[in-house]
Structure formats: C-alpha cells, structure tokens
Amino acid sequence: MRVRIKREGAKPSCLEAANADDNDVVNLTDAVAILNHLFKGTGPLPEPFNNCGIDTTSPEKLGCEKYPTQFCMNP
C-alpha cells in the first residue's frame, strides 16, 4: 500500500482487492482497515474476504483486470 499511496510503481492489477474498507477508493484508510483487522481484531474485511470472488457489497467501480489465482483458497 505504501508504494501505491505515494503514486510510485505500477498500479495493482486488481484495485477492488486493495479496497479493504469498501469505500470505492484506494487510499490510506485501506491500509488502516487491514492493520486494524490484523492487530486489533476488528471485524472481518468486506466480502469476498478470505476467498476469491465477486465483490457483492458494492458495484465494482475500481476494476479488477486480473488477480493471481495461486493465492485463492477457492479458485
């Protein structure tokens, strides 16, 4: 996330996956949501958290050109 926030490096191929707080914008609040989930035990991240699939919580606005299926628990 740090690289993307500073506008350096390549754009992720699946921005929907980077939208961890489900507000249809990829920014610092996504990193905060992930860190809160990991270290503070806040509720689960938006669906399809922990699986690969379609984002059913909001219309896909950010796009997802491709994602690495080797990381999917249910490809």
CB contact at 8 A, 42 and 8: no
Task: Please tell me the total count of domains within the chain.
Answer: 1
Give the integer Cα–Cα distance in Å for 34 and 42. Answer: 9
- pTM equals 0.68
Q: What is the pLDDT of residues 8-60, one digit of tens each?
A: 667 777 788 888 888 888 899 999 999 999 999 988 888 777 777 777 776 66
Closest CA to 14 of 5, 26, 3: 26
Closest CA to 21 of 47, 39, 40: 47
Range of the domain at 59: 1-75
Amino acid at 16: E
Q: How far is CA 4 from the centre of its chain?
A: 12
